[in-house]
Structure 1
Amino acid sequence: MKVEQIYTGCLAEAAYYIESEGEVAIIDPLRETKPYIDRAERNQAQIKYVFETHFHADFVSGHLDLAAKTGAKIVFGPNAKPAYEAIIAEDGQVFKLGKISIKVLHTPGHTMESSCYLLIDENGKEVAIFTGDTLFIGDVGRPDLAQHVIADLTQEKLASYLYDSLRNKIMPLSDDLIVYPNHGAGSACGKNMSKETTDTLGNQKKVNYALNPALMKEQFMKEILTGLTPPPAYFPKNVLMNIKGYESLDTVINRSTQALSPKAFETVAQELDALILDVRDAAVFAKGFIPKAINIGLEGQFATWVGTLVPDLKHSILLVTEKGKEEEAIIRLARVGYDNCIGFLEGGFEAWEKTGKPIDQVQSISAEEFSDLFKQNPELAYFDVRRRNEYLSEHVVGIENLPLETLSANMALLKKEGLNYIHCAGGYRSMIAISILKARGFDNVVDISGGFSAIKKVEKLPLTAYVCPTSLL
Structure 2
Amino acid sequence: MPLPSSSTPAVQIQQFYDKGLAHASYAIRCGRQVAVIDPGRDPQPYYDFADEHEAEIVAVIETHPHADFVSSHLEIAQETDATIYCSKLTGARYLHKNFDDGDRLRLGNVELHAINTPGHSPDSISVLLIDELAQTRAVFTGDTLFVGDVGRPDLRENEAVGGHAREALAAQLYRSTRQKLMALPPTTRVYPAHGPGSLCGKATSPDLDSTIGKELATNYALQPMSEQEFVKVLLADQPFVPKYFGHGVQLNKLGAPNFEDSVRAVPRLNPHAALQPGVLVIDTRPAAKFRAGHLPGAINLQDGGKFETWLGSIVGPQEKFYLLADTQIQLDAVIRKTAKIGYEGNIKGALLAPSVQPATSPTVEVAAVRQHPETFTIVDIRNRTEAHGKLFPSALLIPLPELRERIREIPTDKPVLVHCAGGYRSAAGASIIQAALPGLEVLDLGEAVTEFAPANS
| Distance apart, 1:395 and its partner CA | 2.7
| Distance apart, 1:99 and its partner CA | 2.3
Matched with 1:459 is none
Q: Would you say the 8 A contact 2:237–2:385 is kept in 1? A: no
Structure 1 CA distance, aligned partners of 2:309 and 2:75? 22
Matched, 1:428 2:424: yes
Name the stretch that deviates more: 26-35 or 309-318.
309-318
Change (3 A) 1:120 1:151: closer
1:121-171 CA-to-partner distances (Å, cap 9, x unmatched) read 344322211101111111111112122235552112211111111111101
Matched with 1:279 is 284
Matched with 2:144 is 134
| Distance apart, 1:438 and its partner CA | 1.9
Matched, 1:270 2:276: yes
Structure 2 CA distance, aligned partners of 1:287 and 1:51? 48
1:204-219 matches, cutoff 5 A: 204-212=215-223, 214-219=224-229
Q: Would you say the 8 A contact 2:239–2:385 is kept in 1? A: no
1:81-119 CA-to-partner distances (Å, cap 9, x unmatched) read 211101111313221112222111111111121000111
Matched with 1:318 is 323
Matched with 1:444 is 441
Matched with 2:3 is none
| Distance apart, 1:45 and its partner CA | 1.2
Q: Would you say the 8 A contact 1:54–1:113 is kept in 2? A: yes
Give the residue type in structure 2 aligned to 1:261. Answer: N
Change (3 A) 1:370 1:107: same
Give the residue type in structure 2 aligned to 1:180. Answer: Y
Name the stretch that deviates more: 430-439 or 364-373.
364-373
1:247-396 matches, cutoff 5 A: 247-256=257-266, 258-264=267-273, 267=274, 269-270=275-276, 273-313=278-318, 315-340=320-345, 341-345=347-351, 348-349=352-353, 352-353=354-355, 357-374=356-373, 378-393=374-389, 395-396=391-392
Q: Under a length normalisation based on structure 1, what TM-score does the superposition of the two structures give?
A: 0.89
Q: Would you say the 8 A contact 1:364–1:447 is kept in 2? A: yes
Structure 1 CA distance, aligned partners of 2:372 and 2:246? 44
Change (3 A) 1:43 1:151: closer
Q: Would you say the 8 A contact 1:366–1:449 is kept in 2? A: no
Matched, 1:412 2:408: yes
Structure 2 CA distance, aligned partners of 1:47 and 1:321? 38
Give the residue type in structure 2 aligned to 1:391. Answer: A
Matched, 1:146 2:148: no
Change (3 A) 1:87 1:366: farther
Q: Would you say the 8 A contact 1:133–1:141 is kept in 2? A: yes
Structure 2 CA distance, aligned partners of 1:326 and 1:150? 32
CA RMSD of aligned residues (A): 2.0
Matched with 1:43 is 53
Unaligned runs of 5+ in 1: 457-461, 466-473
| Distance apart, 1:446 and its partner CA | 0.6
Aligned pair count?
444
| Distance apart, 1:49 and its partner CA | 0.8
Structure 2 CA distance, aligned partners of 1:402 and 1:124? 54
Moved over 4 A (4+): none
Matched, 1:196 2:214: no
Q: Which has the higher helix share?
A: 1
Q: Would you say the 8 A contact 1:367–1:455 is kept in 2? A: no
Instruction: State the SS of the aligned residue for 2:406.
Output: helix
Q: Would you say the 8 A contact 2:407–2:436 is kept in 1? A: no
Q: Would you say the 8 A contact 1:31–1:62 is kept in 2? A: yes
Q: Would you say the 8 A contact 1:76–1:89 is kept in 2? A: yes
Q: Would you say the 8 A contact 2:161–2:250 is kept in 1? A: no
Aligned counterpart in structure 2 of residue 165 of structure 1, from 142, 155, 176: 176
1:206-242 CA-to-partner distances (Å, cap 9, x unmatched) read 1212211x21111111111223344112111111111
Unaligned runs of 5+ in 2: 1-10
Change (3 A) 1:216 1:19: same
| Distance apart, 1:372 and its partner CA | 2.5
Q: Would you say the 8 A contact 2:38–2:63 is kept in 1? A: yes
Q: Would you say the 8 A contact 2:364–2:444 is kept in 1? A: yes
Matched with 2:4 is none
Q: Under a length normalisation based on structure 2, what TM-score does the superposition of the two structures give?
A: 0.92
Matched, 1:79 2:89: yes
| Distance apart, 1:11 and its partner CA | 0.8
Aligned counterpart in structure 1 of residue 63 of structure 2, from 47, 53, 56: 53
Structure 2 CA distance, aligned partners of 1:313 and 1:327? 22
